[in-house]
Amino acid sequence: MDIFKKLKQYYWPYKRFLIISLISMLFVTMITAAYPIVIQQTIDNVIGEQNYNLLPIIIIAFIVLMGIKALSVFTQQYFGDLFGISTVYEVRNDLYRKLQRLSFKYYDNAKTGDLMSRLTADVEGFRFFLSFGFAELLRIVSLVVVSGSVMLFYSVPLTLVTLAAMPFLAVSVYMFDKRVHPAFLGIRRSFGRMNTRVQENISGMNTVKSLSREQFEIGRYEEKGENYRDHYLKTASIWSKYMPFMEFVGNVCVVALLAFGGYLVIQGDVQVGELTAFFSLVWMFLGPLMNFGFVVNQFSQAKASGERLLEVLESDLELDDDVEPTGETVKGHVTFDNVTLTYVEDDDEALKDVSFDAPPGKVVGLIGATGAGKSSITQLMTRFYEPEQGTVYIDQKPTTDYSLKDLRKQIGFVLQEPFLFSTTIKENIAYGNPEASMDEIIDAAKRAQAHDFIQDMPDGYDTLLGERGMGLSGGQKQRISIARALLIDPSILVLDDATSAVDMQTEAKIQQALREVMSDRTTFIIAHRISSLQHADEILVLEEGAVVERGQHEELLDNGGPYQRIYDIQYQDKEAILGKQHA
């Protein structure tokens, strides 16, 4: 029950719905247990003694009981569902809030499909037990207690014969729970892996089709599906062995009761109506016990789902954000003081003892091979990650002294792979500043060289985009992303290879627009093209996480170091291409 204790905060506020459902269930149980009494009275007192005057009274009483039971069943089911739905509404919202707050390090290892499975299938599995499992468990207990009490009233010897089956049923239920819980946990995990496979395949469909790997992907999905099937079959096997044994024990008990009960009727110790009523009560007593496996089944599924939900809810945020947001602005003075960063413990350092100073309004270029540490520098400024050593300052104040909200609202990002939401172009541009006016949105689009092509779209700025900006070219998506960053008017602007997806002519237009924007803010340009950063005030050349060279474009060319080698490679290739075209 530890899982349910940890999740108590979500369902306990709605306990009133559960209580109403349980009270209604008790009415249903007592009325159900009254059926055999009605049968006994009809057989012994009406038919046996030919006292037919009692028949109308019994009929009316039976109809009244049916009406009360129908109302109680409705109340039980409605409030049981209300209890479960209200609870998982809070669980799902908290899960989503937690996903927004978890660090980048968490997402480095998380699988999208598995997280989606937790938000859907696992939440639903937990809800089902709350809506039906709790009530079913208490229904079984109450029905066993009530029917057992009536059975004792009719015949103590017959009740003792019935109770002889209890130890066998109890051991069977215990063994079933012990085996079925790990099996359901395996089902949940394999379902998450299967979801991940589907998500990755759909996201990478262009790559799959361009390399003709459809059959390979089908094979990989079938492998995950086979694993999911095997886990389910294992669970089905456990269930199929359990149910026949429970039914066998119940039937043996009934045969014993039939023999012993017949003997008691012959001896005159029990009347025919009482024996008939007792047999009805036996099934009310043993039936729920045999169905207890169904409750254990639900409980095991809910427990497995709860474990996976808690894995997310109890995940370490890793970043302390105890500082209250104040809405403060910064000038954009960025300083790195002997900063070292390692993404994975005992792995190679992503940054090694990096130091530099970028006063407000300065343009800093970052260049180097893939994995050299360019993006790591900008990710430390926003505290996507924390350094192992050294300190990152903004306006001479450690970044840890800012609230994450205040800090990140001062830094505008244009990433190498732009992400657009499935909404209008206008809403995509205004995503970071939803209060912006239409004039401000258009101004940002113009500065990003996006206004003209937006105007040519079917509905202009109100054009709905497909998933991840489907329907736009890479360059168009990039320019909308740039407009989005400009609209928040950041003190620090980060262009992470922001013009890599556009042609040279468009890049020149964007660079011209960006020069005007960058004049009064600190800007970091991550680029592979030297043409994108040769105008920077300072260029940092990185190799394997270390700054190996720094200076302005002309100065670095004169040094004859790594920067010049990059320059020679790029421009020699360009001259060779131009020479071939001229020839």
Higher pLDDT, 439 or 120: 439
Per-residue pLDDT at 574 exceeds 60: no
Radius of gyration (C-alpha) of the chain in whole angstroms: 36
Mean pLDDT of 217-223: 82
Per-residue pLDDT at 578 exceeds 50: no
| Domain extent at residue 443 | 418-489
Per-residue pLDDT at 522 exceeds 80: yes
118 within 8 A of 192, measured Cβ to Cβ: yes
The verdict on 278 and 135 lying in the same domain is yes
Q: How far apart are CA 111 and CA 203, in angstroms?
A: 13
In a domain, 50, yes or no: yes
Side-chain half-sphere CA neighbours of 490 within 13 A: 26
Q: How far apart are CA 128 and CA 294, in angstroms?
A: 12
65 within 8 A of 278, measured Cβ to Cβ: no
17 within 8 A of 320, measured Cβ to Cβ: no
Q: What is the pLDDT of residue 438?
A: 93
Burial class (CB in 10 A: 0-12, 13-18, 19+), 347: exposed
Per-residue pLDDT at 282 exceeds 50: yes
304 within 8 A of 181, measured Cβ to Cβ: yes
Q: How far apart are CA 449 and CA 455, in angstroms?
A: 12
Higher pLDDT, 195 or 544: 544
149 within 8 A of 101, measured Cβ to Cβ: no
% of the chain residues with pLDDT over 90: 11
Q: How far apart are CA 65 and CA 57, in angstroms?
A: 12
411 within 8 A of 405, measured Cβ to Cβ: no
Per-residue pLDDT at 430 exceeds 70: yes
Residue indicated by tokens 């003694």: 49
The verdict on 304 and 443 lying in the same domain is no
Q: How far apart are CA 377 and CA 341, in angstroms?
A: 9
Side-chain half-sphere CA neighbours of 252 within 13 A: 12
Q: What is the pLDDT of residue 390?
A: 92
The verdict on 98 and 222 lying in the same domain is yes
Helix ranges (H only) for 270-401 are: 272-290, 292-313, 374-381
Q: What is the pLDDT of residue 581?
A: 42
The verdict on 302 and 424 lying in the same domain is no
In a domain, 121, yes or no: yes
Last residue of a domain, one of 291, 313, 335: 313
In a domain, 118, yes or no: yes
The verdict on 291 and 424 lying in the same domain is no
In a domain, 530, yes or no: no
The H-or-E segment that residue 518 falls in is helix 504-518
Other CB atoms within a 10 A radius of the CB of residue 559 amount to: 13
Q: How far apart are CA 284 and CA 145, in angstroms?
A: 10
Lowest mean pLDDT among 271-280, 304-313, 475-484: 271-280
Closest CA to 418 of 365, 469, 452: 469
- Could you give the C-alpha distances from 316 to 95, 98, 118, 311, 485, in angstroms and in order? 13, 10, 17, 10, 30
Structure tokens at 333: 């003075």
Q: What is the pLDDT of residue 337?
A: 93
CB under 8 A, 24+ apart: contacts of 293-297: 293/172, 293/173, 293/176, 293/239, 293/242, 293/243, 293/246, 294/136, 295/133, 295/136, 295/137, 295/140, 296/173, 296/176, 296/177, 296/180, 297/180, 297/239
Closest CA to 264 of 423, 121, 256: 256
Report residue 487's pLDDT band, with 50, 70 and 90 as the boundaries.
confident
360 within 8 A of 332, measured Cβ to Cβ: yes
Q: What is the pLDDT of residue 206?
A: 62
Q: What is the pLDDT of residue 333?
A: 92
Report residue 147's pLDDT band, with 50, 70 and 90 as the boundaries.
confident
CATH of the domain at 471: 3.40.50.300
Q: What is the pLDDT of residue 546?
A: 92
- Could you give the C-alpha distances from 567 to 277, 554, 573, in angstroms and in order? 96, 11, 10
Average pLDDT over all residues of the chain: 81
CATH of the domain at 138: 1.20.1560.10
The H-or-E segment that residue 98 falls in is helix 54-101
Report residue 207's pLDDT band, with 50, 70 and 90 as the boundaries.
low
User: Which residues are CB-neighbours of 237 under 8 A, at least 6 positions away?
Assistant: none
Structure tokens at 191: 């379902």
In a domain, 557, yes or no: no
Residues 224-275: tens digit of each pLDDT: 888 888 887 887 787 777 777 777 777 777 777 778 777 777 777 777 777 7
Per-residue pLDDT at 579 exceeds 80: no
Mean pLDDT of 547-551: 91
Per-residue pLDDT at 137 exceeds 90: no
The answer for 411, left when phi > 0, alpha when psi is -120 to 50, beta otherwise, is beta
Last residue of a domain, one of 313, 330, 348: 313
Report residue 209's pLDDT band, with 50, 70 and 90 as the boundaries.
low
Reduced DSSP (H G I as helix, E B as strand, rest coil) percent helix, strand, coil of the chain, to 5: 65, 10, 25
| Count: domains in the chain | 2
Structure tokens at 51: 């006292």
In a domain, 151, yes or no: yes
DSSP helix/strand/coil, 539: strand
Q: How far apart are CA 272 and CA 42, in angstroms?
A: 11
User: Which residues are CB-neighbours of 521 under 8 A, at least 6 positions away?
Assistant: 332, 360, 361, 490, 491, 492, 493
In a domain, 217, yes or no: yes
Per-residue pLDDT at 489 exceeds 60: yes
Residues 91-128: tens digit of each pLDDT: 888 888 888 888 777 777 777 777 887 888 788 888 87
Last residue of a domain, one of 489, 507, 523: 489
Mean pLDDT of 169-186: 73
The pairing of beta strand 538-543 with beta strand 363-368: parallel
Q: What is the pLDDT of residue 65?
A: 84
Q: What is the pLDDT of residue 258?
A: 75
Higher pLDDT, 313 or 574: 313
The H-or-E segment that residue 92 falls in is helix 54-101
Q: What is the pLDDT of residue 499?
A: 67
In a domain, 469, yes or no: yes
The verdict on 309 and 422 lying in the same domain is no
Q: How far apart are CA 72 and CA 89, in angstroms?
A: 25
